[in-house]
Each structure stands twice: as C-alpha cells, then as structure tokens.
Amino acid sequence: MIGLIFGETKFPKQILKKIKSKKKYLIIDLTKNKNFQKDKNSYSVSIGQFGKIIDILKKNKCRQVLFAGKVKKPNLSKIRLDLKGIYFIPRIIKASKLGDAAILKEIIKILKKEKIKTLSSTIFTPELSLKKGNYSRIKPNIQDNKDINNAIKALSNTKEYSFSQGAVSQNNKVIAIEGKEGTQAMLKKIKNKHKGGVLVKFPKKSQDIRIDLPTVGLKTFKQCKRAGLKGIVLKHKKNILLDKKICIKFMNKNKMFLIIK
C-alpha cells in the first residue's frame, strides 16, 4: 500500500491513472476543493492535521508515500490543527517563510521520523520527465542560445533559498526572474514590444526533486506566447511536462521550441 499525498494541478490525476491498476493505494487529499473525494480510497485532510495523516497511513500499513501537486501555503490563522499539528506548527510557520515547497519538505521530515519513506513523484510516470533534446520542429538560433545561456547563468547566481526556478532572457538581457509568486505571475508581467526571448525553468538550488520538479503544460506555453517568447528550456530528467502531445502541437503551430538541457 502506498500513500498518495496530493495537492493541486493535473499532475496527481496523471499519477492516479497509472497507479490504479498496478498497486494498492490511498489518497491524502490536501486540495482546497476536495478534488479526489469521489475516490473511495481518498481522505480529505487539512495540512495541519499531522496526527490524522500519520494515523491514516499507519492504519493502512503505508510505509511509502508519494507527493504530487502544489500545496499552497496555508492561512495559519484558519488552519485546522490536531495535537501533533500543534506540536509541529512552529516548524511549519518557519518553513512557510521559505515558500510552498519548504512546507512539503518539513512534512517529509515529520514522516521520516515515523519511518515512512518518501518516493520520487515520477516513479510511476517516468514518461513525463523528458531527456535531453529538442521536442519541436523549431530550433533555437544563435540569439536564442545566447538568451538561454544568460537565463541559466542568472538562475545559477541565485541564493540557496531563492524562490526562483524560472528566468526570462531577451536580446542578451535577463528581463525577469521568478519570485515567490511563481512562474505564471512572472510571465503575466512581461510585455515584450519585440518578439523573442526564452523562459528557462530549472530546479531551485535547495529543491527536493522527489516532490518539487519544475512543471510546465499547455497553460505555460500559452502564457509564453502571450509574452512574446519563443521557447522554453527545462533541465534533463528534472522536469515534468503535462499534456505532451497537445503542447508539442501548440509549439509547432506557433513556431516555438522546447529544449531539454
């Protein structure tokens, strides 16, 4: 039996499709709208109910868990806590200041003390994590490659606990670096007068790649197109691409590229 700790985005649903016929599972549903309530093996739980989460896992003999999807920073004044939640809340408050992923990392530490192991989020969906190569008809030109290198350099220069996993470079200039609001918020602010430029989306320096791989899908490509960007660059085997066929079709139609470095 494996425990699937699910947050928002499409990624958890893709994992569930793959795992349903292969392995016994239960779902710890951390989504706001109880996205998995129709599944008979699902338990809707508040992120502050650590005692309840651990009890569910142990009662069902789950010694392994898998995290997938985004878990937003909780409103600490409204969060529901049980006894273990009260005990651990100071650590969660401290972690929340470092971003959403830090909250999940803190939960992993709590589970480890209970002898529950965390698996990689892509263990059942390796096809969503792409290898090196060009996945579109369009290839980056000399200027595109300069922008790719500039954006990669900008990300490598960020601090260890930076929120940045995305940077945009255009015409030899880094015009945006992701903040704690995320990639989508960064892209919405870009208003390019001249088309061109690239989005590079790599793991953060302190990122736990078991739970927090950079993820892109059709929405990301559409946002890049609206921002006038020409392509997206991801890290080899440290990424998740959702709706691959649809994304590639969109890229080719709009003369954009996807490169895995």
Tell me how far apart the alpha carbons of residues 95 and 194 are, in angstroms, rounded to a whole number.
Answer: 40
pLDDT (0 to 100) of residue 36: 95
Angstrom CA distances, 93 to 68, 74, 178, stand at: 21, 9, 22
Q: What is the mean pLDDT of the chain?
A: 87
Higher pLDDT, 102 or 252: 252
pLDDT (0 to 100) of residue 182: 82
pLDDT (0 to 100) of residue 221: 95
pLDDT score of 38 more than 90: yes
pLDDT score of 1 more than 60: yes
Task: Give the ranges where 42-141 is alpha helix by DSSP (H).
Answer: 50-59, 83-96, 100-113
pLDDT band for position 8 (cuts 50, 70, 90) = confident
Using only C-alpha atoms, the chain has a radius of gyration, in whole angstroms, of 19
Summarised one tens digit per residue, pLDDT across range 57-116 is 999 999 999 999 887 666 666 667 777 777 777 777 676 666 666 777 778 888 898 899
